[in-house]
Amino acid sequence: MMMNDDDDDDDETLLEFSFPTEVAISKMSKGERMNIFRGFFATSRYNRLLIQKILLRCALDDSFYPKVIELEANHNRNYLETRKMIERYGFREEFIAAVKEEDAALDKIIDAYNKRMMKT
């Protein structure tokens, strides 16, 4: 998705990740499902960055704060609903494997930030 830096409205819209139907996902290989889960987590990280960007704008204009609250709540609700859906579909163990993979990736990102911050 391309975003225009001049269009603040785009910055206030979270990306939506569309999961395949239960029938479609059940016909996929484990590797294909893992890629679906990875895409979901990538979308989630992107959305968190958008929320952070809007939060920063609160320093300039307090009127952005309710939008931050709304987007955070929507993001969290979407994650929980998605997790429950995946469990209903019967792919909890694969989802947990993807969660562990994502957790390890986030640890690497956090470590890189920590190293960079220690240099300053």
Measured CA to CA, the distance from residue 57 to residue 68 in angstroms comes to 10
In angstroms and rounded to an integer, the radius of gyration of the C-alpha atoms of the chain is 17
77 contacts: CB under 8 Å, gap ≥ 6: none
Q: For the chain, what are the domain ranges? A: 28-119
pTM of the model: 0.84
The pLDDT of residue 5: 42
Can you spell out the DSSP letters for 24-86? Answer: HHHTS-HHHHHHHHHHHHHHHHHHHHHHHHHHHHTTT-GGGHHHHHHHHHHHHHHHHHHHHHH
Q: Say whether pLDDT at 91 is over 50.
A: yes
* Tokens encoding 5: 């830096």
Q: Say whether pLDDT at 120 is over 80.
A: no
Measured CA to CA, the distance from residue 90 to residue 23 in angstroms comes to 11
Q: Say whether pLDDT at 4 is over 90.
A: no
Q: Read off the pLDDT of residues 35-46 as tens digits, 9 standing for 90 and up.
A: 999 999 999 999
Give yes or no for a contact between 102 and 41, defined as CB atoms under 8 angstroms apart: yes
The pLDDT of residue 8: 52
